[in-house]
A = this chain, B = another copy of it.
């Protein structure tokens, strides 16, 4: 028997700390992102946990070492931190470099990469990028996109905890889909049919009866037979549900404050990534405009010349038209659209008592794309059972879900945000596959 220390510090020095360490000797490690050999020596840029670091080494006495270095080697470098002016936006910190006197190679790649990830711009066909994901994600731009995505999720959790929400984890395997329809992946569960969760909807409503306010960040699965730039078949859903609301507008207000917090959080924690990606993270200082679906149709029609009146939903071209109208006339990148018709919203959606045939539901559009669906839900047991029947559903199929209503639920509602979609809009990325680490679509199951 021996003992392993509980107090050893294995914390890594962050880029912002290195920037303040001018004149200090350090030992750092990382993988070589790029090498520039010059007459007097070489610049070696290594990839660390939180960014790229520039190291320089003189040629004298290091000829063999320098000539033997290659990209994607894992190295340990010892040297002096020195002030430097680095223009390359992918390098962070850009105010210091390491003047190395020793470089030790600790691991070698077996092959040179088939694409050059040391280039400033990774100009690959999307299929190549995705086929080579374990490699392409090592590029600073790809890394930065996912860092921003994680900051959004982190901010989401932090804001909601501050607001009294409890994080929950709900099963992804179950017997029925919350959203109904055919878009469900089917599974063999010990000889019985089971399904992958399309959303945590049922469970977060149950959660309201338990914790009043709940959120979940987790994978959801949609067997949608679409191959578009805005669909993937497994994505991360950011869900919240809250009790004791007066109507859907309480949820919309919670979302505006949430987004404001998340964007501020990204600006605070992702400075280098924002610079590298040249990203425009909105500063939310205006209240969000809200229109009903029929108003939205009129406005979109005014922009495109189309006639959308009576349509039960928003088409992609309408979403874009409404967003450009909002940006120009209301100074907002965001627009809420409310009062979608009863038949277009799931059975748990609360109808508007003042506008029969419409619901207390909303979508939030951001820069041309719907990023959120939400609304008030039915909390009364009898009302829910009757709505199920009126929509052709059998309440017996939802017995365990309906326990929540039967034994009491306050008025409540919630929303879901697609993490990959909002990240794509934030960063101006056209295809949500590029804001997903390892995307799944109808053709792709690897890497």
Contact = CB atoms under 8 A, between A and B. Distances in A.
Interface stretch (A4-12, A87-95, A303-311, A351-359): A4-12
Interface stretch (A57-65, A121-129, A183-191, A342-350): A183-191
A369 interface: no
B407 A134 contact: yes
A388 interface: no
Contact of A190 (B29, B138, B225): B225
A312 interface: no
Nearest to A213: B49
Contacts of A76: 244
Interface in A4-27: 4-12, 14
Question: Which A-B residue pairs are the 6 nearest by beta carbons?
Answer: A109-B408, A400-B447, A72-B408, A74-B410, A110-B381, A12-B164
Contact of A212 (B14, B49, B202): B49
Contact of A209 (B31, B218, B249, B288): B31
A385 to B, nearest CB: 9
A229 interface: no
Interface in A114-158: 131-135, 137-138, 143, 146-147, 150, 153-154
A428 interface: no
Interface residues on A, range: 35 or more
Given A166-B147, A187-B187, A253-B10, A194 B445 contact: yes
A427 B266 CA distance: 36
Interface of A: 1-12, 14, 29-31, 47-50, 72-74, 76, 106-111, 113, 131-135, 137-138, 143, 146-147, 150, 153-154, 161-175, 185-190, 192, 194, 196, 202-203, 206, 209-213, 218-219, 221, 223, 225, 233-234, 236, 243-244, 249-250, 252-254, 256-257, 260, 284-291, 295, 330, 336, 379-382, 400-401, 403-411, 419, 437-440, 442, 445-447
Contacts of A407: 72, 109-111, 113, 134-135
Contacts of A291: 1
Contacts of A411: 74, 106-107
Interface secondary structure of A, over-half rule: mixed
A381 B109 contact: yes
A3 B287 contact: yes
A7 B257 contact: yes
Contacts of A154: 161, 167
B336 A4 contact: yes
Pick the most buried of A6, A107, A147, A236: most chain B CB atoms within 10 A of its CB.
A6
A409 B75 CA distance: 11
28 contacts: A4-B249, A4-B288, A5-B287, A6-B286, A10-B254, A49-B165, A50-B164, A72-B407, A74-B411, A106-B244, A106-B411, A107-B379, A109-B381, A109-B406, A132-B403, A133-B400, A134-B209, A134-B210, A134-B401, A150-B168, A153-B167, A171-B438, A171-B439, A172-B234, A173-B445, A187-B187, A190-B223, A190-B225
